[in-house]
């Protein structure tokens, strides 16, 4: 695949991730409004939304799943770069390559197992019973999607490493 095609795909993928991050931001706003309304109602009328805490918990999970690939793309995921800064540029670049390969392989394994978990939950008819009652697989289904998106981002990261400067990444470096 040519460099031009890869840049086009990468740009489209970035727009997708930006859209998911915007959806996560709206989800957070909705959760904040819901919890605020619940607190106000409970204090004024002694009756609130018994399911508000549960919905906000699921919202936090959804926000995490929606933003993980976006954060990886921006280099704002958890990263230990102290060693990379101290190493020679070429060695740091090689470590970045190894880290991306490990990240990609891990995501592929997690896609497989999260698909199995989701399928088994749906097949068995497992349900979640709290204030809200719904099929358990609804909470599991976003996991394989998230790990697929993370694996795709690792491919783009790897491509950027191979075609860019032979040194450590500069984005989101916490030490200099």
Q: What pLDDT, in 10s, does the model give residues 71-102?
A: 999 988 877 777 778 888 889 889 989 999 99
Yes or no: say if 55 and 134 are a contact pair by the CB < 8 Å rule.
Answer: no
Tokens representing 50 are 């018994």
% helix, strand, coil for the chain, step of 5: 75, 5, 20
Q: What pLDDT, in 10s, does the model give residues 1-60?
A: 667 888 899 999 999 999 999 999 999 999 999 999 999 999 999 999 999 999 999 999
d(CA 9, CA 94): 25
pTM of the model: 0.88
Q: What b/e string do you get for 110-147 counting C-beta neighbours within 10 Å, with b at 16 or more?
A: bbeebbebbeebeeeeeeeeeeeeeebbebbbbbbbbb
Coil, strand or helix: which one is 129?
strand
Q: What pLDDT, in 10s, does the model give residues 126-138?
A: 999 999 999 999 9
d(CA 63, CA 43): 28
């Amino acid at each position: 695949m040519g460099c031009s095609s890869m840049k086009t795909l990468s740009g489209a993928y970035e727009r997708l991730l930006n859209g998911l991050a915007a959806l996560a931001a709206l989800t957070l706003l909705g959760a904040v409004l819901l919890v605020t309304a619940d607190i106000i109602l409970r204090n004024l009328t002694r009756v609130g939304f018994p399911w508000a805490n549960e919905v906000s918990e699921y919202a936090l999970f959804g926000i995490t799943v929606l933003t993980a690939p976006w954060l990886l793309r921006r280099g704002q995921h958890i990263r230990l770069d102290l060693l990379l800064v101290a190493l020679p540029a070429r060695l740091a670049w090689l470590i970045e390559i190894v880290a991306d390969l490990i990240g990609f392989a891990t995501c592929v394994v997690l896609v497989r197992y999260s698909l199995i978990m989701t399928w088994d939950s749906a097949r068995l008819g497992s349900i979640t019973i709290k204030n809200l009652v719904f099929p358990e697989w609804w909470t599991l289904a976003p996991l394989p999607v998230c790990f697929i998106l993370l694996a795709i981002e690792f491919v783009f990261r790897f491509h950027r490493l191979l075609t860019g400067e032979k040194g450590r990444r500069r984005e989101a470096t916490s030490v200099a």
